[in-house]
Structure 1
Amino acid sequence: MSMLVSRRTLLAGSAAALAASALPGRVWAADPLKVGFIYIGPVGDYGWTHGHDVARREVEAKFGDKVKTTFVENVPEGPDAERVLRQLAQAGNELIFTTSFGYMNATIRAAKALPKVKFEHATGYQTAPNVSIYNARFYEGRAICGTIAGHLTKTGNLGYIGSFPIPEVVMGINAVALSARRIRPDAKVKVVWANSWYDPGKESDAAKALIDGGVDVLSQHTDSPAPLQVAESRNVYAFGQASDMRSFAPKMHLTAIVDAWGEYYIRRVQAVIDGSWKTSSVWEGLKEGMVGMAPYNEAIPADVVAAAEKVRQGIIDGTGHPFVGPIKNQKGELVVKEGETLSDEQLLKMDWYVEGVEA
């Protein structure tokens, strides 16, 4: 059972619900566990928010009447987020997933005020006794995309539509550049910032600007299918974001990173139900199944598919890593020696670009 609640109509819960949130454990085990979600975009974005909502529905399918989910879409990363979190808690939600990096401070503040409510924050780095964090190694999928792009580009000019210059996005840009340049050393990744996670108009304009600037393979770190639709109309190859977007560009969609949150969400809901939930920090990827790849376009030559699969399998079995040296920065300075690999801590703080990135 699920419920869509707008920010205007989400009502405060009863005093009983508030009292329940202040008591240890589940008060009424016979009642369904209420699970809340807040989303940065609309569930119909076919990208990031869509992926989280698919996972929410997987939770419902798994647990049936044992759970009741509620989601609030289009919640800005600011004061609104904390208000929505408090309202979800007051409505009796015992577990709340906050699904955007910019919800971090709001999540921590709400968690401090509501210590018996359990929070799960996506892509952040702050935890608390009742706040867990979870993230996916999206850069692993970007490395596969970069490998394909390096083989298919004719000009060596690759495009990347960025949302915001946070470490996750910088990692993605760098992973594409490094992987492409291992195939074509002169490849460049030109970045245009949309300054939004979801804005079809800005995303479309960014795609047009990049293509007009000579880009012949396009990546995006934004959530609408608009860039793919532009790519399809201009006969330029492109990669989707967060889900299989080939229906929007049947000819030019090469593949896409697929965000697969469902198994994690089911795992964490089960932990609340059986009383084993504890704060944790999770960063999973291709090996664990939190990151997947959409089907490859049949137009990709067999040897290129083989090269992409070699990268994917190497990441899974540990014989390869997208950020193994030698790596140079934008200035051409060696920052990672040959054979060395950037640590998770270094990746999560990444605020610099590799050689070949124009941003």
Structure 2
Amino acid sequence: MAKTLMKGNEAIGEAAIKAGCRHFFGYPITPQNELPEYMSKRLPEENGSFIQAESEVSAINMVYGAAGSGARVMTSSSSPGISLKQEGISYIAGAEVPCVIVNIVRGGPGLGGIQPAQSDYFQSTKGGGHGDYRLIVYAPASVQELVDLTIEAFDVSDKYRNPAMIFGDGILGQMMEPIEFNKEPIDPSDLPDKEWATTGVGKKGEKSVINSLSLQAEKLEDHNQKLKEKYDKIKANETRYEILHEDAEYFVVACGTTSRLCKNAVKQAREKGINVGMIRPITLWPFPEEAFHKVLDQTKGFLTVEMSNGQMIEDVRLSVNGAAPVEFYGRSGGIIPAPEEILEAIERLQGGDQ
């Protein structure tokens, strides 16, 4: 199959269309603007609908309504815009409505800057909005993975009736790489029926109702328990990760764009005789605790590298549970850690162990 050179943001849009998405609601913010721009052109060509809402709050509630009708729906934004969507995301998760949310992360807090960052990790994996809920969060590391994981996000979101998020950054959104679409495009009419959708009286002869309000404490607790059981299934079945050099004595832990820089640093370190590997979480939630358990017996130390002041490191430490030291190296504010800096941090990790 011939490869196509595409920018990351645009590749996400085309992947969504090939996954059967025909509805997009969003609002412009850098560095994800090419995605809604692309969808504004492509969706009308596919008899779909594109709406630039008057705000991010409006956009996420449009997603709630359209996804509640059973359609495959997507929205995208960047950090401050995702913050504005949090109430709606909580409603969507509480109502068990599937959709895909794209966050091309920029530096913060506040308005911050337009350079790439990974400092929305807490927001994405720990809820972000109110209540007990989880998003399925994917962290692609290439434009090809943006394509593959966007398509997977729609499938997994539908499977569990749970919103999924693509956690990218300004580098991935803006960079161009050759990609291919490995799956046949999906016609929305060929997707399985969603008996829960608000399309009138279903096969059961009852009206479908989508709601996240429950005023009786016992009923709300039952619903939260049902959600927890669903999240446990997602953790058991949908956790994704990559381990490089599984027999290593030290491991760098990184996701997304940062993992590509770390691979270079790991290569340089191994050339200098340091027995180091890498663990790359592909799902940030569920976080791949299993990957750490696989290597704990021989590991002398972990180095978490992030484009933030340290957020994923908390999940790394929980996974390691004190069995080995966990160190951190990060840059923030839109500054990208260089492989040479990461190599120096690896050398410090090894030196500290000796």
Q: Same fold by TM (over 0.5)?
A: no
TM-score of the aligned structures, taking structure 2 as reference length: 0.31
TM-score (norm 1): 0.30
